[in-house]
A and B are shown apart, each in its own frame.
Chain A
Amino acid sequence: SQKIEQNSEALNIQEGKTATLTCNYTNYSPAYLQWYRQDPGRGPVFLLLIRENEKEKRKERLKVTFDTTLKQSLFHITASQPADSATYLCALGSGGYNKLIFGAGTRLAVHP
């Protein structure tokens, strides 16, 4: 069955450092991958989308890579800030009507 794995343990980093989150998947060939941020008590908020034919995408301090051979996506936040502390979800889709399959998320804590 399809499986998406994200770092199950919380990631703790110091302010100003780069945070790197991993999303691995098996038994799936996604056409695109999305990253969302979720704060406690709130719904997920869209951050970035990357398609299967793209290697890398950037938006301000965010960078996403997508390796369909390794079946892995890496999500980077450079110059991290305490306000970046949240849970980050990766989600895979295969076209059609955008039915997304989500990972369990990784909790990021950025310490001053």
Chain B
Amino acid sequence: GAGVSQSPRYKVAKRGQDVALRCDPISGHVSLFWYQQALGQGPEFLTYFQNEAQLDKSGLPSDRFFAERPEGSVSTLKIQRTQQEDSAVYLCASSLVQAGGNEKLFFGSGTQLSVL
């Protein structure tokens, strides 16, 4: 596809369940980001991949959050033992370049996670 694809679009989980969110970036994009967006707020950085290497995971809120990108393309964000405060929209973004910064990000439509 032409854009960043995320699935599922919506996810409802019972508190304590594990969830896995998938991101298909634009083909050939080196950089991949995960952001968390609470209602009425801007996206907050979670983690960054350059190809398959996770270079920054400083934004992950706890050790229940885990992300991977084993082959440098598709990425999965996993949340273990979900809690109500994890309810948010999880956005994935990709960009072409790996260094130098200031490249625009291409975002997916996000996965809206609701933890009951």
Contact = CB atoms under 8 A, between A and B. Distances in A.
Contact of B55 (A31, A44, A46, A97): A97
Nearest to B100: A95
Interface stretch (B12-20, B44-52, B61-69, B71-79): B44-52
B109 A41 contact: yes
Interface stretch (A13-21, A68-76, A100-108): A100-108
A98 interface: yes
- Give chain B's interface residue range (CB within 8 Å of chain A): 20 to 34
Contact of B45 (A4, A95, A100): A100
Interface string B81-116: 000000000010101011111111111111000000
A1 to B, nearest CB: 13
B15 to A, nearest CB: 25
A34 B99 CA distance: 17
A49 B101 contact: no
- Please indicate which of the listed interface residues A4, A89, A97 has the most CB atoms of chain B within 10 Å of its own CB: A97
A89 B42 contact: yes
Interface residues of A, number: 28
A36 B91 CA distance: 14
Contacts of A97: 31, 48, 50, 55-56, 98-99, 101
A79 interface: no
8 contacts: A31-B101, A44-B105, A95-B102, A96-B99, A97-B99, A98-B97, A99-B45, A104-B41
Interface of A: 4, 31-32, 34, 36, 41-46, 49, 51, 89, 91, 93-105
